[in-house]
Amino acid sequence: MEVLNLHKAWRLVDGDKELFRDLFGLIDKSLDERHAHLDKALADRSAADLEMYAHQLKGALRNVAADKERTCYRSAVPEWPS
């Protein structure tokens, strides 16, 4: 399964490979922290925090055209816009 939609990713950054590397690097560096926030929201049973952090992660994944992962988060909270 393809994680990134590379064709879409190149369009999003207008073919700028350095920009894509920078964006992907920022997201990659923040994944552990983002998942920790999600885990804490679950442990605290905080629906508002869970929704906020999942929405932020979905948006970050959109920036690098990680469509398959976004679909997982979107299915958890289906009322969010695509």
Q: Give me the residue spans of the domains in the chain.
A: 6-76
Q: What predicted TM-score, i.e. pTM, was given to this entire model?
A: 0.63
Looking from the CA of 14 toward its CB, the CA atoms found within 13 Å total: 0
Give me the amino acid identity at 14: D
Mean pLDDT of the chain: 77
Distance in angstroms (rounded) separating the CA atoms of residues 34 and 53: 7
- Give the chain's end-to-end CA distance (angstroms, integer): 21
pLDDT at site 40: 92
**Least confident among 15-19, 30-34, 56-60, 71-75:** 71-75
**What gap in Å lies between CA 64 and CA 2, rounded to an integer?**
13
